[in-house]
Structure 1
């Protein structure tokens, strides 16, 4: 005779505390009640509730009530029950609004609202820094409680200085420490290359500092409990691959587990391991992920791509040409540097050709990269622990932080130059000089999807000429220089006069003590007179700004590059032109120093003939179509949200998920600035339980939690200060009979071991657990149902008892 049981699925996170299997059980109870399986009695009273609390000391006695009915309702629908209780409790709404980033040409910025808490997921910009793209951000910036940053590049955090300096964003920003540090490198480099070529005032270097002062760094798997309106929400980063310190963010509120995972890379690389999404975040309530490469099919393996890249570069250099490789500032360039340096060493090219890294912050980028070995792959950590080999001890890479240094290199040369867009950067300057020589090569490793010089060059066939708007600065001369000097002297005189008047006012304030103290009798009597003459005393204080130092769970971080000796390459060229590693503050001082000769910005329209070769080898470090499908199938989200991809890519992934994942209830594709409700099917509400009812509950241990079955009645409080409704006890005679609920459970392999320990033979045959020589067979029908079939003998009842012992029964 068959016997069916309910088996909860894999563990989830409940109440923002610990992972346990009870969340899936609660979800099943909610679905069962809402589907009408004994949910409402004839009298219209709610029935079939479940409450749980964390076990152990310091446990939270707040209870969760799942899918309750209401008095005077006769067979209420699921929607009606859910809506009324949400109105009573004022919570339970989760929605996502892409401010921008729904399309593959956008930077990324999404607003996640969980009840009253507003969490911004990334806050990116494109490398052109077009202010019009941030109109949606400006309207939604108010009342943001925190920002979660996933990667360090401009498309994920580039708008933060503008949002803080111009829009008034004022909240904590969470990221891993490498994202915080490398993100500052991205923004310093962007600010320097823009201000060195054009008039740029959207944000200042002080805005960049202010933005990164607000960062709170966390390590992988470190839980961070939000406060204020985010009370009860826990955010945790996990490894994303793609970039150093790149993070998947798991956001937990009660039994809702939301995973934000964009720009993932499942492949193991030279300095990074692949993503751990399917291991760290299985079966989330909602998965927010991108479909950027939803139509890209990767046909070559990593070793083949490595060979294609190096062979093309080697052929160019052997032919007497120079190779330009546009790269980002501090992201994917790290993987390319490690790869190319290893090839340079193995092929012994250091004596023949030069390899250089050119950006305004190249030296700082490598110095900081050396300090983050613990964030790299297990292989890199092992090499460092055993042999003290740091993957970023790149002895043959020459650092260039100006165009003059690049042009002074020994040629032929390979130059990795920022930026990816090849606009207003070293990459643009070198392309203009090298494009006319057919011996030269432009090697692309990333294909931007916004209109820019890089996308133009990647067209098939390669265009014979390109139009470039070149921006640059020239020193002022003649009348312009004299006019500038006169204005500067006037400004200096005006500032000196104001400072003198301010000092005089302060001296007067010190002489007359009564006037210097606000609120005094003399001060109040003459306040109007003093304001009219602008004599209101100031109360000067010493300037003070709290220095926010980076730290992790072990304390304040140490910058090991400060103790590193200067290195030289075999040619005698210093790998660090400035000697010891210069700090970020020193970089800022040099960046903000006013040039000795004033300059003006000019624009020039050029037509550049393209006679050099242009190749592309994919080193973006993102999952392709097949990998996206495989990873999502392993994660098994209950609901999926697709962002940051072309319409065709998102439609393709959506069709696949709807066909292959029947347990995924819906796959949403939101548009920019349109909100989507992304609540899972779990209906969890906070209520108050009266002491009399709480004492009558029989809790059983399930994982790290205690769970009880509740029969009660929801009553709205008359006190407006009481946010949550109250659950009251009902008479036992008013509660109809209900089926048993099985909580917990184990795998079939564990059940086989338990049966074997009882002295009963058991083995798997064609997926069926055959026990007692075939007298009893156990088969897993679905994820939530187990069938036990056999003759009614003593072995059958012994085996059934062992099966029941794997569960807690309510």
Structure 2
């Protein structure tokens, strides 16, 4: 197993390159004959920095888009995949195909009413959230509601997380990746987003939450209720029916939050809780054991003993393996050592392998057992601190040398501050809390308060490591002074909990539902589609829809399966001859695209495979006409305005049909699986040709 260190982590972070949306990154190929890849990120609209990837290469375009949001939110713009048409390959997911969603206005109304009703009853509301993703949208939404409804008189609004302060501070500096409204507010009013006032309380631990007495709205991590502050708070709230649990997202697979979204909500929750315990406190059967190869296991030794006890008959003499022979000479017993016979087989060198791990799996680092040279030399400040805790030295001519362990036992060690405190605390001479010891310089005389910074860090960071919770015990001082990390073991505990509190599930995941996914894919029209994630039912539903309506190749790979999605592409690269290039007539389809029709031949020759082939003008004898191509997207609303303003005709809608001149001419769109077409019906007249001319003018004709 590869062991990664902090050095490897820093090297990986140094290689990261931050990008902006719509910024092209060119990745050069190792082969000179291959063109480079162009990778571009675009906003996905779900979390800050979340994006989908547009990959452009020589034979096509690949779009990787999973977990996108088609709605515009308070701090994020919407997903814009519709701007990319006919990619070679599209990779997406089917996570929310069968997951119904409501309008945002309806969700906000249910959320605000439930919170206001619960707090008015004197109960608490808990919302489990993630650390820095969707929680930002909820904070903005709830803070605006809290201010507008003047909820400060009804309770407290608390955001609880170990990184709550840093998340809010970092979010203030990320306006560049947020919505247009956030950027406009920053430019016009110079007000950064996520500048919350005193109404939002930030709690870094549970003790800070308990200080607020009264009804509380708490946003706590993590979002799945499998650990963290949210699980601890929920255990306190679930026994009281007036309390409310609002679940904004499903969380991890098999978690309690996912079970709450089931149609038939369970009354009992199967909860798996992780516990981190010191290995020395575990029972013997749960401790990890390592049996040396040269020793028998307990099972083997027990089996051998039982076999010896069960054997019957006279005992056989045991072979002499000591190499000493006892003989009788002159009535006395004399020990004679046997001569060792020379080995008759070749000897091979043996290299003893040093152990890299201890019995608990910890890596053995020789640096942990070295005593720093700085600790060997006492300083005047150390002597004063030792005198303060030790009292007067009975023998002034002899320096006091404390024990190395700090808690008694072991050979004498280096002199230094607090080396004898652990031993004295072990015998009950010091019974104080952590605060008194960490800030013990306050009790010093005025001349002894300011001791060197390094010693103060030693006192606060090393001395109290291992006893962060209260009295200064010998075990706490020992682990702190030695600086060794105690081996820990992760255990799982399964509990069945009955839920008494009220539960409200609202979809604030920020993912597009099945209807939005189908509409987006019908506009993009990919040639090939790969579906990742989601249940078997959801994947099958999306696959059937795309095969029936869009007639594209759909692949649903399994985990670890390799897929050749674009191996059958018939795209070839060629160079246009200058003579042919001069004859091309380009027409503009939209501001970003120009297109032309050419009659050319692909020149065959004996060129090398590495060289590209060339397109030359086709002979006039071989040129044949082609059917007209109508390029563009005509909208009936614009066509109606054109017929009224420029044609002077009456145009009205009857269902999906446009009727001109009181029913003399009709225009109708027809959409089939193969193509889209517009059909004009009416009598041959001057108005008919006028309508047809205005309709054709909306297309680019080749």
Could you report, residue by residue, the CA deviation over 1:622-669 in whole angstroms, capped at 9, with x for unpaired residues?
22233333333344445443222111011122333444x3x4433332
Partner of 1:363: 165
Distance 2:546 2:177 in 1: 32
CA contact (8 A) 2:96 2:534 kept: yes
Out of 391, 407, 415, the position equivalent to 2:218 is: 415
CA contact (8 A) 2:29 2:35 kept: yes
CA separation of 1:365/1:740 partners in 2, compared to 1, >3 Å: closer, same or farther?
A: same
Partner of 1:398: 201
Matched, 1:647 2:449: no
Partner of 2:398: none
The residue matched to 1:632 in structure 2 has which SS? helix
Pairing 1:190-589 to 2, within 5 Å after superposition: 209-228=10-29, 231=35, 233-253=37-57, 256-278=60-82, 280-298=83-101, 300-314=102-116, 316-318=118-120, 321-395=123-197, 396-410=199-213, 412-431=215-234, 440-452=243-255, 454-455=257-258, 460-463=265-268, 466-471=271-276, 491=368, 493=370
Name which structure has the greater RCO, CA cutoff 8 Å, separation 6+.
Answer: 1
Could you report, residue by residue, the CA deviation over 1:359-404 in whole angstroms, capped at 9, with x for unpaired residues?
2322111112122334334444444444445441222222233454
Once the 2 structures are TM-superposed, how far is the Cα of residue 799 of structure 1 from its aligned partner? Answer: 8.0
Partner of 2:474: none
Distance 2:515 2:10 in 1: 41
CA contact (8 A) 2:259 2:266 kept: no
Out of 495, 505, 523, the position equivalent to 1:617 is: 505
Distance 1:425 1:650 in 2: 33
CA separation of 1:437/1:489 partners in 2, compared to 1, >3 Å: closer, same or farther?
A: farther
Once the 2 structures are TM-superposed, how far is the Cα of residue 425 of structure 1 from its aligned partner? Answer: 2.7
Query: Size of the alignment, in residue pairs?
Result: 502
CA contact (8 A) 1:776 1:788 kept: yes
Once the 2 structures are TM-superposed, how far is the Cα of residue 345 of structure 1 from its aligned partner? Answer: 2.5
Partner of 1:633: 522
CA contact (8 A) 1:437 1:611 kept: no
CA separation of 1:776/1:403 partners in 2, compared to 1, >3 Å: closer, same or farther?
A: closer
CA contact (8 A) 2:35 2:58 kept: no
CA contact (8 A) 2:529 2:554 kept: yes
TM-score of the two chains, using structure 2 as the length reference: 0.59
CA contact (8 A) 1:475 1:599 kept: no
Distance 2:683 2:115 in 1: 73
Distance 2:678 2:269 in 1: 68
Distance 1:795 1:458 in 2: 60
Could you report, residue by residue, the CA deviation over 1:503-544 in whole angstroms, capped at 9, with x for unpaired residues?
xxxxxxxxxxxxxxxxxxxxxxxxxxxxxxxxxxxxxxxxxx
Out of 675, 684, 688, the position equivalent to 2:571 is: 684
Partner of 1:104: none
Partner of 1:671: 558
TM-score of the two chains, using structure 1 as the length reference: 0.52
Distance 1:374 1:399 in 2: 25
CA separation of 1:716/1:445 partners in 2, compared to 1, >3 Å: closer, same or farther?
A: farther
Matched, 1:747 2:624: no
CA separation of 1:611/1:671 partners in 2, compared to 1, >3 Å: closer, same or farther?
A: closer
Distance 1:458 1:779 in 2: 44
CA contact (8 A) 1:239 1:248 kept: yes
Deviates more, 1:331-340 or 1:311-320: 311-320
Distance 1:636 1:780 in 2: 19
CA contact (8 A) 1:702 1:744 kept: no
Distance 1:457 1:407 in 2: 27
Once the 2 structures are TM-superposed, how far is the Cα of residue 332 of structure 1 from its aligned partner? Answer: 0.6
Bigger Rg, structure 1 or 2:
2
The residue matched to 1:712 in structure 2 has which SS? strand
Distance 2:227 2:238 in 1: 16
CA contact (8 A) 1:715 1:727 kept: no
CA contact (8 A) 1:441 1:614 kept: yes
Distance 2:112 2:685 in 1: 71
Distance 1:464 1:700 in 2: 66
The residue matched to 2:162 in structure 1 has which SS? coil
Distance 2:670 2:103 in 1: 39
Distance 1:412 1:801 in 2: 70
Once the 2 structures are TM-superposed, how far is the Cα of residue 679 of structure 1 from its aligned partner? Answer: 4.1
Once the 2 structures are TM-superposed, how far is the Cα of residue 759 of structure 1 from its aligned partner? Answer: 7.1
Once the 2 structures are TM-superposed, how far is the Cα of residue 326 of structure 1 from its aligned partner? Answer: 2.1
CA contact (8 A) 1:239 1:277 kept: no
Distance 1:772 1:401 in 2: 72
CA contact (8 A) 2:226 2:271 kept: no
Partner of 2:344: none
CA separation of 1:276/1:454 partners in 2, compared to 1, >3 Å: closer, same or farther?
A: same
CA contact (8 A) 1:760 1:772 kept: no
CA separation of 1:625/1:728 partners in 2, compared to 1, >3 Å: closer, same or farther?
A: closer
The residue matched to 2:168 in structure 1 has which SS? helix
The residue matched to 1:217 in structure 2 has which SS? coil
Distance 2:14 2:144 in 1: 36
CA contact (8 A) 1:250 1:281 kept: no
Once the 2 structures are TM-superposed, how far is the Cα of residue 775 of structure 1 from its aligned partner? Answer: 9.6
Could you report, residue by residue, the CA deviation over 1:574-606 in whole angstroms, capped at 9, with x for unpaired residues?
xxxxxxxxxxxxxxx9xxx98843553244555
The residue matched to 1:228 in structure 2 has which SS? coil
CA contact (8 A) 1:744 1:806 kept: no
Partner of 2:320: none
CA contact (8 A) 2:249 2:257 kept: no
The residue matched to 2:79 in structure 1 has which SS? coil
Unaligned runs of 5+ in 2: 282-358, 375-456, 466-479
Partner of 2:426: none
